[in-house]
Structure 1
Amino acid sequence: MDTQTHRGGCLCGAVRFEIAGPAKWTGYCHCHSCRKHTGAPASAFAGFERSQVTVTAGELALFASSPGVRRGFCAACGSTRSYEGDRWPTEFHVHVGAFDDPEPFAPTGHAFAEERVSWLHLTDPAPP
């Protein structure tokens, strides 16, 4: 059982968070919206129960990117941080790059793989 507290934040340090315990899942997302939100060809996410997440400094600004979807970012530096959606109402999804130590959150799957850009070649993650 993972009892570790994972910490992270934005580029400028205005927004900081702590997450207690293990991720429910990890994976790459290839959807068009994530590409636009991050500026990257794919995003690595870790999903947690909302009750595990505490914002310890600052506040996430939220953008309603599509119906039922809110994407979190730092209003000061613009760093992308999170995804929240009505589809998974109890979950809080964090961009793996937002963690101070992203090593524990190696992706184990792909979401929206059919939207993957043709030139992106990732080694398929090993199952957990």
Structure 2
Amino acid sequence: MSTGGCHCGAIRFEVRGEPQHSALCHCSDCRKASGAHMVGWALFEQDAVTISGEPVRYQSSEYGERQFCGTCGTSLFYLNQTIFPGKIDIQSATFDDQALFPPQAHIQLAEAAPWMAQVDELPKFDRFPGE
């Protein structure tokens, strides 16, 4: 059993089993919905996920529905019955244990920020520059 939830704790979830995939998505829809340059996802069978609390639902495209916490705004779930029937994508950063489902791929790179190919070349700091 894997667990996770939103920032404020109003929405919690439990997942049984392993994801069908775990990936970092670069599409413009994910970027706009999250405010991040890429979003990590882990795709599960919908009946393997138990959600406590009531996420707010947002129809983000013709077929896609995003769900988030109405209190703190944390993006949590994505459903698309056309592409992923019977499945639910969970934002992997919302799992309590970040080691559980490391990304296996980058997806939607055709829509990635133009500088993303060079992101590994940026300086790295354990906290902030100068600390």
CA distance in 2, matches of 1:102, 1:60: 22
SS class of match (1:54): strand
Q: 1:76 maps to which residue?
A: 71
Q: 1:50 maps to which residue?
A: 46
Q: 1:90 maps to which residue?
A: 86
Letter in 2 for 1:106: P
- Residue 115 (1) aligns with residue 103 (2): no
- Determine which structure has more spread, i.e. the larger CA radius of gyration: 2
Quote the offset at 1:17 in angstroms: 0.4
Quote the offset at 1:44 in angstroms: 0.7
Deviations 1:98-122 (A, max 9, x none): 1001211111112211111122246
CA distance in 2, matches of 1:119, 1:41: 10
Q: 1:30 maps to which residue?
A: 26
Quote the offset at 1:89 in angstroms: 1.5
Q: 1:16 maps to which residue?
A: 12
CA distance in 1, matches of 2:114, 2:103: 19
Quote the offset at 1:59 in angstroms: 1.2
Q: Which one of 98, 101, 112 corresponds to residue 97 of structure 2?
A: 101
SS class of match (2:7): coil
SS class of match (2:113): coil
CA distance in 1, matches of 2:98, 2:34: 17
Deviations 1:4-37 (A, max 9, x none): x000000000000000111111001110000001
Quote the offset at 1:81 in angstroms: 0.2
SS class of match (2:30): helix
User: In percent, how many aligned pairs have the same letter?
Assistant: 36
CA distance in 1, matches of 2:68, 2:109: 24
The count of residues paired between Structure 1 and Structure 2 equals 118
Structure 1 gaps, min length 5: 124-128
